[in-house]
Chain A
Amino acid sequence: MKFMKNQLRRTAVGAIAAIAALTSFGAVASADEITGAGATFPQPVYTRWAEQYAASNGDTLNYQGIGSGAGTTQIINRTVDFGASDAPVAPERLASNNLLQFPAVIGAVVVSVNIAGVNGNDLHLTGPVVADIYLGRIRMWNDRRIAALNPGVTLPAVAIAPVYRADSSGTTSIFTSYLGAVSLAFQTTIGAGSSVSWRAGIGAPGNAGVAGAIRNTNGAIGYVEYAYATENNMATPQLQNRSGAWVRPNSAAFAAAAATANWASAPNMAASMINTAGQANWPIVSATYILLPKNPTDGARSLKVMRFFDWAFNNGQPAADQLHYIMLPESVRAQVRQRWCQVRSNGQPVWSGCH
């Protein structure tokens, strides 16, 4: 009995000490950490930047890839220091919630296929054909519309299995925006969004799920973020761009699309890089966005967020190259820094670079 009592007391003391240690650690961590939440599309590059930034500067960044919609909700509720969204947020929603939106980095979405006996990298597809595949109008790989684009390639009589993201995703939003831009039928029957009412195919969870489903299935076609396709050696067909040229997905083609975007006239810097004209342009390119409160309760924390992205704009190139993201053009980075001046605490701009 006595032994048990002692044991109990010891356990209780231990538990209290452990709880105290945990809470104090939590408090310390949350004081110094910048927190952000949202899109999964740019998560790899944000995480890499955060590691390098912490090593060079000491401030740590905790980024949670919980999805664009959830990230937007979190910044509206001011539970994080910044939100992140792949699709630009509607201007009226930005205004009503006092949010500043700026682009952070550019990424591309690619189409991937798995057809036994066909080299997917040499396959040629056009936007309208891909749209009709996802509409369920083209069902076989030896369909004459696909064969017409690929003279000399023997396409098997295999059913096409379109694969899409089961979860709501910025990647889906970018891909459906593209299909909607090139196909009126797609725009009117399905439309664009982070989760849409697909007419054909199967949904797999996450980029990894889509990649797995494509690998598993003979005849599959799907879309993933470019970094994901290169890391997994996925076959990526060439697409015909707006200028009628056939392009392979690579960094040069993405950068060409980024260069032609009309940043100056886009409201809230939401410049579209979908289906841009230009011989070298990859047609499915998009920026991903950061949301900052214009009236932060703690200006110092907002400043830390800006310093982080300022550091990333100056030093983030190697990590972006490695992960196949495209940096914003220099002129756009300067515009973003100018826009940071709209964030004010006690009537004063938080960012130091304002005149």
Chain B
Amino acid sequence: MSVSSSVDFENSRKFHLGEGIFRTILLFSALVILITLGAILTILFLSGQHAFARYGVQFLWLDQWDPVRDVYGAAAPVVGTLASSAIALAIAWPLGFGVAYFLTESCPRRLRAPLGIAVELLAAIPSIVYGMWGFFVFAPVMSSAIQPWLTANAWLFWIIVAALVGISLSSMTLATLGRSIFGRIVAGAILILALAGIVYLAVNRTDLPVLPSELNPLWWWFQGAPVGVGLLSAGVVLAIMILPFIAATSRDVLNTTPQLLKEGGYAMGATRWEVVTGVVIPAVRGSLFGAVFLGLGRALGETMAVVFVIGNANRLPDSFFAPTTSISALIANTFPEAGPDTMLQASLFALGFILFVVSFFVLALARLMLRQGRMA
């Protein structure tokens, strides 16, 4: 035993030079990534600096993209990117968490692997395929069935929003003010207000849509020519694309909940729902947010699928159905014709810089939350 260990020691000393070279190579590989990242960011900023110099911060909220007059503003693509990603998250987050919870807790053991693989396979579909599906299959359904239905039944959406806002606001009030008399009164008042809103919407559901859309902000969001492509279509296609990421990461996160905690909950007589909301979610809350932000990071930069379904209109969206654009879609559409050293090219680089920075912060936040969840 002692002989063999001394031989190992000798060997490691003999290969000291090799060890050093190996370490240098590893260090170099790690540095290459950092240098590349920094170089990309620098190049994006330097190439876009003419746009920043010309417009300043105003570039961010200038709602104009006019190659004929050589005026470029980032408002429409930035808003389009954020809004389509937000819609995607609103759909994929509950769905992905549901899939993950089903797979870890209530799925029959035999179905677990095939279902898990099926969800992960969604991630293997190339984005151009999602785009073509969205354009040739989903958009016609959207234009002929979903959009007319939503336009006619917008009140349902706002009832759901009112209910969700009422419940979450009143529970937040209870959480901050405590279960004192004052807290209970405020929370109750909020619930009554929400209920009144719901009743108002339900009673007036048939009258409100006939108001001119300019007078009725609640209905703006469901107006527009039924073209099938637009903000909502992009959000739905993006949701399907990021679902596997959110589901797979959430599943892994849920699997890290200590079995003891859950069994403790069940032993106390808690129902499955109470264990999820009272034990599992609080234990891994940070990590679950992290899973969502990973999905968001992907949605923000998605290009090919979005080009097909977002409508490619360089205008701010004024409804869920309105065509708009995203940063990556606009760059993909415009870059081939943007000559060198033109304001158009500089503006595209500036847009790329903005997208890079936003994605970077989203991913950094995701990492931070995943790590905090793991430490908790």
Contacts and interface: CB of A to CB of B under 8 A. Distances in A.
Interface of A: 66-70, 72-73, 139, 159-161, 166-168, 190-199, 201-205, 209, 212-213, 216-220
Q: Tell me the interface secondary structure of chain A in the complex.
A: loop
B68 A220 contact: no
A93 to B, nearest CB: 10
Q: Tell me the interface secondary structure of chain B in the complex.
A: loop
A97 to B, nearest CB: 12
A159 B336 contact: no
Contacts of B334: 167-168, 195
Given A159-B226, A195-B67, A216 B143 contact: yes
Interface stretch (B210-218, B259-267, B305-313): B305-313
B333 A73 contact: no
Contacts of B140: 216
Interface stretch (B1-9, B89-97, B189-197, B227-235): B227-235
B136 to A, nearest CB: 6
13 contacts: A70-B336, A159-B226, A166-B333, A167-B333, A197-B68, A201-B323, A203-B311, A205-B308, A209-B308, A212-B136, A213-B135, A216-B140, A218-B144
A206 to B, nearest CB: 10
Contact of B225 (A72, A216, A219): A219
B69 interface: yes
B181 to A, nearest CB: 55
Contacts of B337: 67-70, 167-168, 194-195
B64 interface: yes
Nearest to B230: A202
A98 to B, nearest CB: 17
B225 A159 contact: yes
Contacts of A204: 135, 229, 312
A83 to B, nearest CB: 12
Contacts of A190: 68
Given A159-B226, A193-B68, A168 B308 contact: no
B312 A72 contact: no
Contacts of B68: 190-193, 196-197
B339 interface: yes
Instruction: Name the residue in B143, B229, B337, B339 with the highest tally of chain A Cβ atoms < 10 Å from its Cβ.
Output: B337
Interface of B: 64-69, 135-136, 139-140, 143-144, 225-230, 307-308, 311-315, 323, 325, 329, 333-334, 336-340
B225 A196 contact: no
B339 A69 contact: yes
Contacts of A139: 225
A86 to B, nearest CB: 11
A220 B67 CA distance: 25
A139 B312 CA distance: 19
Contact of A69 (B64, B69, B338): B338
B253 to A, nearest CB: 37
B307 A166 contact: yes
B336 to A, nearest CB: 4
A187 B275 CA distance: 65
Contacts of A67: 336-337
B312 A203 contact: yes
B336 A69 contact: yes
Contacts of A194: 67, 337
B135 A212 contact: yes
B313 A198 contact: yes
A69 B314 CA distance: 20
B225 A161 contact: yes
B36 to A, nearest CB: 25
Contacts of A195: 67, 333-334, 337
A213 B227 contact: yes
Contacts of B135: 204, 209, 212-213, 216
Contacts of B139: 213, 216
Contacts of B323: 201-203
Contacts of B333: 166-168, 195, 203, 205
A168 B64 CA distance: 17
A175 to B, nearest CB: 13
A147 B311 CA distance: 28
Contacts of A213: 135, 139, 227, 229
B81 to A, nearest CB: 16
A191 B71 CA distance: 13
A212 B131 CA distance: 13
A195 B65 CA distance: 10
Given A68-B337, A167-B337, A216-B139, 11 more contacts: A70-B336, A72-B339, A159-B225, A166-B333, A168-B67, A168-B337, A198-B314, A202-B229, A204-B135, A205-B333, A220-B227
Contact of A73 (B144, B314, B339): B339
A226 to B, nearest CB: 22
A193 B144 CA distance: 33
Give the 5 A-B CB pairs with smallest separation, nearest first. A203-B312, A69-B337, A168-B337, A166-B312, A197-B66
Given A212-B135, A216-B140, A161 B227 contact: yes
Contacts of B329: 166
A73 B313 contact: no
Contacts of B67: 168, 193-197
B1 to A, nearest CB: 27
A139 B225 CA distance: 9
